[in-house]
Amino acid sequence: MNQIELLQNLHSLNENELFYKRYQDEKKHPDTFPAYLASLDMNEILEHHYVIPEIMETMPPSMKDEYFYSDSELGILLQKHNCYSPEFTHFHTYFEALYVFEGICRHTADGKTRILRMGDLCIIPPGVSHAVDVQDSSIVINVILSTEVIENVFKNPAYYKQNPLSEFFLKNLRGSSDHTFLSVHTGNDQELKDLMIQMMLESINKYQEYDAILYSLFAVFFAKLLRFYENTIEISSSRFSDSRKAYDISAYIEEHHNSVTLNSLAAHFGYTPEYTSRLIRKITGSSFMELLSESRMKHAIALLKSTSLPVSNVANAVGYESTENFIRVFKKRYSMTPSAYRRTANKNMIL
């Protein structure tokens, strides 16, 4: 893909956006909207990870980036935020940056809604609940940044200096910050737009040494921000204890998915199992078992796609003592058995 083709794609509605646009149009007609929802193909909805607040099965239980981005090995992922997609609150296990390439969008965090305009960059650290709303053909680019990428850039003596951007990243890496997000106002800066396009092209095309080039462009982008726009940086501070607890609990379940129990989770955080159960429901909207199942299914998908392990071994590796129970849970979620999924994934590279 070249730059002209990428810009054409950004200015066109993709398959997901066409779906969401029709969803928004149908929602304007309360009398016929229930019939529209009933007509949707749930297998297609779940396969494409469409989020429809009126259908609880489509709401990702833990609201983690892994639900939306299946390949996080590189550490930097760039893609257009779906126009017309419904606004919903979620939090991330990575840093997320929202860059308004054209138009405007609404961003809600710490209980306040703000309008982001062309050239605005908003960075949200892990564990902060927020919501994004793009209800027209504005172009907003999501940049997902792993903690490893942030560490490589902002702990590198060649890049690190005492400035608001470095302090924001490093404090959040240590979990010692109460900052909910950082925003920078760059206006119609064509140089920064070009850098964003170059990063997207490297991410899409994956030519030789693309990862090294992508990391370098990322560092240049943030160096340019500091050179020209350091005085426009705004940092929002708020004590987000529930968001941090949600992140910490989800991260622990993620790391110990094959062995964690409600009792061991409660003991780790110094709570009773009953309190832990209520806390999880309060701050995530899901039960402990729903979060655990989500994590186990994600790891099972990775093993089915990348290894030839028998299904029984996959089940055991992600924490299921019973292969039959694993197959039952997997089939309920993905409408196919693990073996069928592996065959389909190998053939079509789905999910």
pLDDT of residue 270: 77
Mean per-residue pLDDT over the chain, rounded: 84
The pLDDT of residue 62 is above 70: no
| Segment 30-60, tens digit of pLDDT | 999 999 999 999 888 888 888 898 888 787 6
Calculate mean pLDDT across residues 73-89. 85
- The type of residue at 202 is E
pLDDT band at 240 (very low <50, low <70, confident <90, very high): very low
* CA-based radius of gyration for the chain: 21
pLDDT of residue 73: 56
More confident residue, 346 or 71: 346
In the chain, the domains with their CATH numbers are: 61-237 (2.60.120.280), 241-348 (1.10.10.60)
More confident residue, 152 or 241: 152
Can you spell out the DSSP letters for 164-197? HHHHHHHHHHTT---EEEEEEE--S-HHHHHHHH
Place of tokens 């429901």: 281
Calculate mean pLDDT across residues 97-117. 91
| Segment 245-295, tens digit of pLDDT | 666 787 788 889 999 999 999 888 877 888 888 888 876 778 899 889 988
The pLDDT of residue 190 is above 70: yes
Chain CA centroid to CA 195, Å: 22
The pLDDT of residue 158 is above 70: no
pLDDT band at 164 (very low <50, low <70, confident <90, very high): confident
pLDDT band at 122 (very low <50, low <70, confident <90, very high): very high
Residue 98 CB coordination number (10 Å): 22
Model's pTM, two decimal places?
0.66
Strand partners, 104: 117
| Segment 143-155, tens digit of pLDDT | 988 877 777 776 6
Given CA atoms 158, 164, 169, 171 in this order, what sign does their dihedral have?
Answer: positive
User: What six digits make up the tokens of 113?
Assistant: 């809604």
Phi then psi for 140, rounded to 5 degrees?
Answer: -120, 130
Chain CA centroid to CA 16, Å: 16
pLDDT of residue 264: 92
CA angle, residues 65, 68, 73, in degrees to nearest 5: 65
124-146 as b/e, with b when 16 or more CB fall inside 10 Å?
bbbbbbbebbbbeebbbbbbbbb
The pLDDT of residue 222 is above 60: yes
